[in-house]
Amino acid sequence: MNSIRSQERIRVHRMLLDAVPQEFTWRRRRYRVQRVEHAEPARPERQSYVLQTVQGLRCRVSHDPQLDIWRLEQLLGAGGGLA
Count other C-beta atoms under 10 Å from residue 70's C-beta. Answer: 21
Q: Which amino acid is at 36?
A: V
- The pLDDT tens digits of the residues spanning 15-37 come to 777 788 999 999 999 999 999 99
Report d(CA 47, CA 61) in Å as an integer.
8
SS3 at position 37: strand
Report d(CA 33, CA 51) in Å as an integer.
7
- The pLDDT tens digits of the residues spanning 38-71 come to 988 878 888 999 999 999 999 999 999 899 999 9
